[in-house]
Amino acid sequence: MSLDRYTKSLKILIEEEELKKRCGLLGREITERYQGKDLVAVGVLKGVFPFYADLIRDINLPLRCDFIGVSSYGSRTETGGVVRLTSDLAQPVNGCHVLIVEDIVDTGLTMRYLLDMMKMKGAESVKICSLLSKPSRRLTPVTIHFPGFEVEDHFVVGYGLDYKERLRNLKYIGYYPDGPPDLTEA
């Protein structure tokens, strides 16, 4: 299967260099904000892994890394509105400052679920760092304390974001102007 089949109608939205530059700025801002605090960076799987890896390398603190898995999309391209936990944290976060690191905040439902969960787990504070935000799709209000980029309501892929579990490996973020391609054809 050719990569071109997936990318021929893709338009670049955010170039690789812009992503790296923004990670550096966010990393410095987070470093300043959490000086002297017990920080746990919680990455939301799967889409966050490229952003998370780049971001934490730009945070100059002795932070702990952990991951959590949630799903609200399944194999669909639209959220079903129900968030389910697919894998929990490996370490407790009670008394810690938690930074939830996410690839994209869309409806806000997943973030609301995670914010409530971290508070129930006893986190001293919970903040959000998200690479992308789609405020036009928000169903529940959430504050992104460390925002990357605000994007229009496009179906975005690349740099961790997927289309049918593919294209996470692109070094840039792109979108399909006419929606994702129908890949059922030969």
> Cα separation of 58 and 91, whole Å?
23
Concatenated DSSP letters of 98-113: EEEEEEEESSSHHHHH
Contact 26, 58 (CB under 8 A): yes
> Cα separation of 34 and 146, whole Å?
12
List active site positions: 106
Kind of pairing, strands 125-133 and 84-87? unpaired
